[in-house]
Copies of this chain bind each other. A is one copy, B any other.
Amino acid sequence: MAWHAVQALVFDVFGTVVDWRNGVAREAAPFLERHAPGRVDAHDFADRWRSHYVPSMQAVSSGRRPFVRLDVLHRENLEAALRDVGVDPAGVPASELDALNLAWHRLDPWPDSVGGLARLKTRYIIAPLSNGNIRLMLDMAKRAGLPWDAILGAEVAQAYKPTPQAYLRTAEVLGLQPAQICMVAAHNGDLAAARQCGLRTAFVRRPAEHGPGQTTDLHPQQDWDAVVGSLDELADLLVE
């Protein structure tokens, strides 16, 4: 692969750079203890909240709904997830729901993320290309020390991955050809969509993203341009 042509690395974030499942579970646990004591496992709740993520974005991507930022979808999905587990969100003060919704702003990076990104930044432009909105990514980066050069992604592109516009508008903002950009993700579907748009691709194995029983995205499904076990390993590959 002609890595010398690549000028920017853009990253999926939820699952690839940060551990959303344990972070959301940590934030949800005291809430669930108050509103459904002893009834709902916090990790199961995190999975359930996340299960509404793709369908909620599809409403936007299909054109049934104008673009709204992920904070708005997360807030709606939180109410749906609560109903799923038998908690009536109408019985919870809105301020508590708003506070819990910020769980996604306070996720911890995987142990290799900050160091790997810092090394990659010395040679490449690094930016999230996440479906998370700008303020969400900003809060997360400020708390965790993620050293992004800029915050790109769905809100800047006004389109959610995996629609082509999310990748192509990001290339346009960067003033680069798609082949000068590498998408870094732990998800085969994200990389497949990026490759369709002409981007380079790097797969990061994150076998614990979905917990101990993970069955998806354990292995690369195409001959991605790079396959690594961590962002440190990606830096070993791409930076002296």
Question: 1/0 contact trace for A151-183 toward B, CB 8 Å?
Answer: 110011000000000000000011100000000
Tell me the interface secondary structure of chain A in the complex: helix
* A173–B125 touching, CB < 8 Å: no
Q: Does A85 contact B (CB under 8 A)?
A: no
User: What's the Cα separation between A149 and B105 when bound, in Å?
Assistant: 14
Question: 1/0 contact trace for A70-88 toward B, CB 8 Å?
Answer: 0100000000000000000
Q: Chain B residues near A135: list those with CB within 8 A.
A: 173-175
Q: Does A10 contact B (CB under 8 A)?
A: no
Using known A-B contacts A71-B175, A135-B173, A175-B135, determine if residue A149 contacts B142 with beta carbons closer than 8 Å: yes
* A142–B155 touching, CB < 8 Å: no
Q: Does A138 contact B (CB under 8 A)?
A: yes
A-B residue pairs, 7 tightest by C-beta: A150-B151, A135-B175, A138-B150, A134-B173, A138-B149, A142-B149, A135-B174
